Amino acid sequence: MFRTKLSVLRPTVLPNYRPLFMHLDMNSYFASVEQQANPLLRGKALGVCAYLHEYGCIIAASIEAKARGMKVGMRVKEARQLIPDAVFVQNDPAKYRTVTSQVFAILHDLSDRVEHYSIDEAFLDCTGWMRDEAEAAWMAVKTRERIRREVGEWLRCSIGIAPTRFLAKLASDREKPSGLTIITLENLDSILLGMSLQDVYGIGRRMKKRIDALGYHTPLELKRAPVANLMQAFGIEGYLLWARLNGIQADALASNDAPPKSIGHSYCLPMRVNREGRVRATLVKLAERAARRLRRQNLYAKSVLVSIAFRDSTASYAPSPFGPPTDGVYQHRFDEPVNDSYALVHAVLKLFDDLWDGHRAISFLAVTYTEFTPPSHQMHLCLFRPTTYNLRPTNSGLSFALDVVNDRYGDHSVIFGSMFGITKDEAPDRIGFRKTDGVDITNFSLG
Amino acid sequence: MTYEYIHEPIEVLAVFRKERTEPMTFKWGSRYYQIEKVNLIHTEHDGREKVYYFNVSNGDSSYRLSFRSESLKWVLEEKCEG
């Protein structure tokens, strides 16, 4: 296969090639995949929801829906009021992972260095594979055509080409849908001229405020600012911001094999889960599912975090590593890193009992495992209770055995007793935009 | 537009081409349905078993068929009519 030869063919010294990066962003991705699967949805205002419920959240809107004002993050109820004839479907992660695998496999035919940035975005380092921007643009058009022909004719993507990773992303964000933008050091100023600070990837509302306070109000002003001023205000981040806007490579392509920094699952609980007393069971399901992912990647966690939010919350929100605001985040650190479900679930339930009085209705639950370190494999002896040894090896063996059963017969074939009564509707499989778990470019052939 | 969750076994006539497999016709109940177009194929694992989903359409109707790699059985999962 051509793909397997790429890394062999890639020249190690690239004296005459200028740096070339490409960024591909699938447009209205989840909605476009749904429209690809079902032609009756094409041309319609379509919202893909986390849950098909009036209070479910829109996680993707079709291009037609966006044109009529539907936005990601809206409630279904709100979107229906805005567009009465809109159609809503529940998200289907397996569908999106398969399509992403197919798209990424095509991208791996272009370069040996492809960063799977998210479920619908990828960066390519094309240096050495394409002579200049013109050839890169030609390859981009051909790639877009391959995606349409081999994956689906309804799928659209925006592509950016530039001398750095950052500018490639800036270029692809410029025109949606189906844009193709080339940024060079020569046209960079004219591209930045029409942009506002918040159009720049990485500058949010708070950062904009801080930059405004320095007296720079546009990306072009920021580009031309003395780097010392920015470094004085923002430290190394100031230099990186200046370098990125000046076309200096400040970000290397991330490796797809790099271990994650955290693994976790979260769930917005419907009221019926509270009513039917299945909150703890749902939490155990989240903890166990995350633990399975931990073991699948052969990682051991030193720390576990549990986060909850209450329905009647009026308290000021605690900072949360999970995104949505929460009423409390508790953390437990293990003496030794673990990945067996018993230790993890036990710690999660202990934290949860500290956070919850057993009565207040809960709207959000999250479990996260972090601080991944390799295990020391040393037996721990308790000085004060000499007869009790660390039982972790036994629990690890049991967790491994249960994984084998669940891998063979399907998830949740064997479950914790505390998960009894839970249905597949509680905390189902979900997909995050920044997650590429399950995306497998070696397994995209469906023939 | 109406969605219907079916999940019933069906009989399928499929073609195995060099690079892909496509269902051509299926029989649900006593009626035969001609497939005009395979719009998207995706897969999912259920334990060791791999499940192939074929999103197909025929004029004003769209269907989701599944094929299980271990039991070699076809199921009509969903039907959508415009």
Of A37, A38, A410, the CB nearest to B47: A410
Give the closest-approach CA distance of B63 to chain A in angstroms.
Answer: 8
* Sequence-separated (6 or more) residues with CB below 8 Å from residue A248: A164
pLDDT of residue A14: 55
Does A7 score more than 60 pLDDT?
A: no
Looking at CA atoms only, how far is residue B29 from chain A in angstroms? Answer: 23
Greater model confidence, A386 or A304: A304
Return the residue in B42, B50, B51, B78 with the most chain A beta carbons within 10 A, the one to mutate for interface testing: B42
Residues in A lying within 8 Å of B, measured between beta carbons: 33, 36-41, 87, 94-95, 97-99, 152, 406-411, 413, 446-447
Query: Would you state the pLDDT for residue A319?
Result: 44
Structure tokens of A60? 């993707």
Q: How many residues does chain B have?
A: 82
Please tell me what DSSP assigns to residue A259.
P
Task: Tell me if A40 and B39 make a contact (CB, 8 A cut-off).
Answer: no
Residue B74: helix, strand or coil by DSSP? strand
pLDDT at A434: 55
Q: Is B17 on the interface with A (CB under 8 A)?
A: yes
pLDDT at residue number A438: 64
User: How far is the alpha carbon of B56 from chain A, nearest alpha carbon, in Å?
Assistant: 7
Q: Which of B47, B57, B60 sits opposite A409 (nearest CB)?
A: B47
* Higher pLDDT pick, A316 / A76: A76
Query: Which chain A residues touch B61 with a CB distance below 8 Å?
Result: 40
* A195-257 CATH: 1.10.150.20
One DSSP character per residue, A105-143 reads: HHHTTT-S-EEEEETTEEEEE-BTTBSSHHHHHHHHHHH
Complex ipTM value: 0.96
| Mean predicted lDDT score pLDDT of chain A | 86
What amino acid is encoded at A281 in this protein? A
Nearest chain A residue to B19, by CA: A447
Q: Is A54 a catalytic residue?
A: no
For B2-71, the DSSP string reads EEEEEEEE-EEEEEE-SS-EEEEEEEETTEEEE--EEEEEEEEEETTEEEEEEEEEETTEEEEEEEETTT
Segments making up each domain of chain A, as ranges: 14-184, 195-257, 262-427
CB < 8 Å to B55, chain A: 36-38
- End-to-end Cα, chain A, rounded Å: 16
Q: To the nearest whole percent, how much of chain B has pLDDT over 70?
A: 100
For the CA atoms of A111, A116, A120, A126, what is the dihedral angle to 10 degrees?
-20
Q: Assign A381 a pLDDT band (cuts: 50, 70, 90).
A: low
Residue A359 pLDDT level (bands cut at 50, 70, 90)? confident
Q: How far is B62 from chain A (nearest CA, A)?
A: 6
A131 φ, ψ (degrees, to nearest 5) = -70, -45
- CATH of region A262-427: 3.30.1490.100
Looking at domain A14-184, its CATH architecture is 2-Layer Sandwich (3.30)
B82 touches chain A (CB under 8 A): yes
- The pTM of this model reads 0.85
pLDDT at A126 over 60: yes
Q: Which residues contact A21 (CB under 8 A, 6 or more apart)?
A: A123, A124, A125, A126, A127, A161, A162, A163, A164, A165, A167, A168
**Residue ranges, chain B, pLDDT below 50:** none
